[in-house]
Amino acid sequence: MNTCRHEFHEPLLVAALYRFTRFEDCAGLRALLERLCREQGVRGTLLVAAEGINGTIAGTREGITRVLEHIRTLPDCADLDVKLSSASAMPFHRMKVRLKREIVTMGEPDIDPRTNAGTYVEPEEWNALISDPDTIVIDTRNDYEVAVGSFEGAVDPKMASFRDFPEWFRRERKRLLGSGKSPKVAMFCTGGIRCEKSTAFLKQEGIEDVFHLRGGILKYLEAVPEERSLWRGECFVFDQRVTLGHGLAEGTHTLCHACRRPVSADGCDSSLYEAGVSCPACHAERSEEQRASYRERHRQEMFAAVQGRAHVGMVRTERTDDRAD
């Protein structure tokens, strides 16, 4: 019996999850999780490291429930952080469980979010905090994510990768915080994991009044009504839904399969956009030879789609270090 083949005839559940904890046998955990997810028809990406687990998975409600139940039995994972949303179609091509040095890569080995993270702020209280003129609000996501949407007045570090955050903060610290008493610092990210590390990093750097949004942008968009929201735009997610809006409704962006960046409706109208081949953001980054390869890959994908099968053999450019926030 092929347990890897599943047909989906009901709305799909998407679970974004993470937990900072200590794992001893990461390789054994990887094998167990991969087997369980495949048995349940669950797809997505899970990252496993000595510091914990992080990922986004999708499947039937029963399949996701069984996987989450198992993860919660792992050491110190009973309080696993999970954000649930839905998808009209399976947003992942396959299931991957990867061993990593960090479940979200910052490159600061002495950071321990379990013991030194900032103060959580509930979504319902977030507006008051970031509206305070004595609060500096920092978006800890990458530049292509911020371009899709952010909170009003948030500082954009313009990072290509989360690992750039420590250098950026050390360089900009005096300009941001001044030389006297530091203001409050509020930080946010998609699901909360990057803020666990970034707030712990700031506290290690001597900043005490550090806060972060519990559950991240996804929880805020779910909990705060649109008419009271200070969020502007959509929220990029690392799956085929591309972006989500208020109420976690699927957004309006598409994904450039050459560079994995989100593309707006205006971007799709650009002469530099070609489905499966290039977008305005990456056109100048690729050679004509590369675009020809992408074009052939896209042709094969379209042919497979007409035949009613998924074409998953191609190699895609992925941002694995910052995935599944």
What is the tens place of the pLDDT at every residue in 133-181? Answer: 999 999 999 999 999 999 999 999 999 999 999 999 999 999 999 876 7
- Annotated catalytic residue, options 37, 189, 235, 256: 189
How high is the mean pLDDT of the chain? 90
> Using one digit for the tens of pLDDT, what is the confidence trace for 96-123?
999 999 999 999 988 999 999 999 999 9
| Count of helices and strands (H, E) across the chain | 10, 15
**Considering only CA atoms, which of 149, 141, 152 is closest in space to residue 190?**
141
Is 279 an annotated catalytic residue?
no
- Is the alpha carbon torsion for 244, 216, 260, 155 positive or negative? positive
pLDDT at 90 over 90: yes
The first and second tokens of residue 72, run together, are 């919660």
pLDDT at 15 over 70: yes
- pLDDT recorded at residue 310: 59
Please say whether the beta carbons of 119 and 187 come within 8 A: no
Alpha-carbon gap, residue 280 to 274, rounded angstroms: 9
The whole-model pTM stands at 0.86
Residue 278 DSSP one-character state: B
